Amino acid sequence: MLSRVNGKGEAARVLGGKGLAGLVTAALDVLMPVFCAGCGRRGSACCPRCGAGLAGHRPATRAWRAYALAEHDGAARRLVLAYKEGGRRDLARPLGRALADAVPFVPHARGDPDGTWWLVPVPSRRRAARARGGQHVLALARQCAAGLAARGHSVAVAPALGLDPRTRDAVGLDRTQRAANLAGRVRFVREGAPPEGTPVVLLDDVITTGATVAACARALDSGGIEMSAALALTVAGTPRS
């Protein structure tokens, strides 16, 4: 199901004054303190210092126009793993907004002729999604869309890809094994797709070998959709060919 935000919606009203909201926030911080998943600093899921490490973009693969916000190490790695495997759903917003900051500046990335950005999340295996409480990259895409909309962009999230249940967990697989694991198993989902011929930006959490980006690009192409660029939170290692 497509979800669209036009960036022109009226801001929602919040009941209660600023003072009351501040008291509630302070009380929650005492009862259920939040710590940065990147460095352990108290106060937010992702502190400004760790968030700054996700600014910008760098090449992740040479062949598929793929980019990432940071290398998969240090605080960036801890943030991604806490979100993906550690149950830190509160990281969806700051990580998604970091993607939103980069999308308009990624080389080759573009919206449709009407100026709408179409975001396609990389799908997870159903078993993994159940364990994580849902499709975690889809949640990132929605937060990315909200961030773009807040800047006045028209944006839509299109869950246009699915995974064959026979797809294995990719942890521990090398480049050749990852490609074989995904061969023919990333499927195009027409009901979640934008109109044929629409350029899209593929979103992912981590790019390792580039096999997932390649498989997703081929699946989108089979449905007449062009992957103009791909953007991930992190890239593990040097840019892939």
Confirm if 91 and 79 have CB atoms less than 8 A apart.
yes
Give the mean pLDDT of 135-150. 97
CA dist 198 and 227 (Å) reads 9
Whether residue 14 is predicted with pLDDT greater than 50 in this model: the reply is no
Whether residue 13 is predicted with pLDDT greater than 50 in this model: the reply is no
Q: Which domains does the chain have, with CATH numbers?
A: 56-235 (3.40.50)
pLDDT in tens, 77-91: 999 999 999 999 999
Confirm if 234 and 80 have CB atoms less than 8 A apart.
yes
Whether residue 11 is predicted with pLDDT greater than 50 in this model: the reply is no
pTM, full prediction? 0.83
The beta strand positions in the chain, using DSSP E, are 3-5, 58-61, 66-71, 116-121, 154-157, 161-163, 186-188, 199-207, 226-235
Q: Is 126 helix (H, G, I), strand (E, B) or coil?
A: helix
CA dist 71 and 54 (Å) reads 9
Q: What is the pLDDT of residue 29?
A: 54
Weakest-pLDDT range from 9-13, 48-52, 74-78, 189-193: 9-13
Whether residue 71 is predicted with pLDDT greater than 60 in this model: the reply is yes
Q: Where does residue 83 rank: exposed (0-12), middle (13-18), buried (19+ CB within 10 A)?
A: buried
Q: What is the pLDDT of residue 124?
A: 83
Q: What is the pLDDT of residue 10?
A: 32
